[in-house]
Amino acid sequence: MKKIWASFLVLAFAALVAFPASAAEKIRLAITDVDGLETLQRDFGPFRDALAAESGLEVEFFPVSGRTAAVEAMAADQVDFVLTGPAEYVVFNARLKAQPVVSWVRPDYYPQVVTLDSTNLKTLADLKGKKISFGEIGSTSQHLGPATILAEGGLTYSTDYEPVFLKLNAAAEALISGDIAAIGMNRTHLDRVIKNFPDRKFLVLQKGPELPNDVLLASEKVKPEVVEIVRKTFAEKGPVLLKAITSAEENAKYIGGSFVADVTDANYDVVRKMYTNVGITEFTQFVGN
């Protein structure tokens, strides 16, 4: 009997060696507006750890230098999931058939057109023939959104006004000096301008509607069951993931936010309309590239 039991143990051990426990499924994650692995670890390390713990997946960062690099990495099958903005999602979808998995709601995420309260500019119509600064070219909240506000106010892009692109503080200084007439920006940026230029009073000529949210998208090559695990994790463990994300100061824009796990491609049709308002009808290239 002892020989039989010993033989059984030998066979069992051999089976364990031959068939080890399957490793966790690994997913590779990129974030388009975070440059470098060190910054990724600092700003999104807690989120990566929380996502791995709650989903049972192994989550590996894939650092990229920007949105174009992220598209190229996904095309080369180097990355599975990308966190990016709404304008960028449209390009990922057009080029690679990437699909939205979950949107990241940012409170008070809307565009606006801002000028100085001391000027005689009081309506959008007053901006005709003027220079208007936008932030990062192709940005949903700093470029496409404000340009759409102007279009809906009757001002055609690059025809009824001259678009220029200046960094936020430089734009505010140009506004104060009279070199430009207005700035397209989001609410967070207006808060920053007010803080940086406390002796000036700014006027919002027009506020736009809430914008589509940032989105975690998946390559079409990711297995559907893995996409579903990620989506389900956000749906069921959202508060845990949000706490991890907002533990980093750089992610304060998500404080008070949430996740939408039933997001669809159609939610971003409004962004495609924004592209047409700046003269873009094909969505396979980022504006300015």
State pLDDT tens for residues 268-278: 999 999 999 99
Question: What percent of the chain has a predicted confidence (pLDDT) above 70?
Answer: 92
Q: What is the pLDDT of residues 149-175, one digit of tens each?
A: 999 999 999 999 999 999 999 999 999
More confident site: 57 or 16: 57
pLDDT at 136: 86
Question: pLDDT at position 287, please?
Answer: 83
**pLDDT band per the 50, 70, 90 thresholds, residue 11:** very low
Q: What is the pLDDT of residue 23?
A: 59
- Phi and psi of 222, rounded to 5°? -75, 135
Taking the C-alpha atoms of residue 171 and residue 169, their distance in angstroms, rounded to an integer, is 5
User: What is the separation of C-alpha 267 from the centre of its chain, rounded to a whole number of angstroms?
Assistant: 14
Share of the chain above pLDDT 90, in %: 88
Predicted confidence at residue 239, as pLDDT, reads 97
CA dihedral 199, 111, 120, 132 (to 10 degrees): 100
pLDDT at position 148: 97
* Cα–Cα distance, 232 to 228 (Å, whole number): 6
* Residue-range domains of the chain with CATH: 26-107+212-277 (3.40.190.10), 111-207 (3.40.190.10)
What tokens were used for 175?
Answer: 């506004």
Instruction: Calculate the average pLDDT of the chain.
Output: 91
| Pairing, β 162-165 against β 131-134 | parallel
Residues with Cβ within 8 Å of residue 213, at least 6 apart in sequence = 86, 103, 104, 105, 106, 109, 260, 263
Tokens 């801002």, located at residue: 114
Q: Is the pLDDT of residue 19 over 50?
A: no
For the stretch 177-211, pLDDT in tens is: 999 999 999 999 999 999 999 999 999 999 999 99
Q: Please name which of 213, 207, 195, 191 lies closest in space to residue 260, comparing C-alpha atoms.
A: 213
Within a 10 A sphere around the Cβ of 101, how many other Cβ atoms? 21
Note the pLDDT tens digit of each residue in 45-73.
Answer: 999 999 999 999 999 999 999 999 999 99
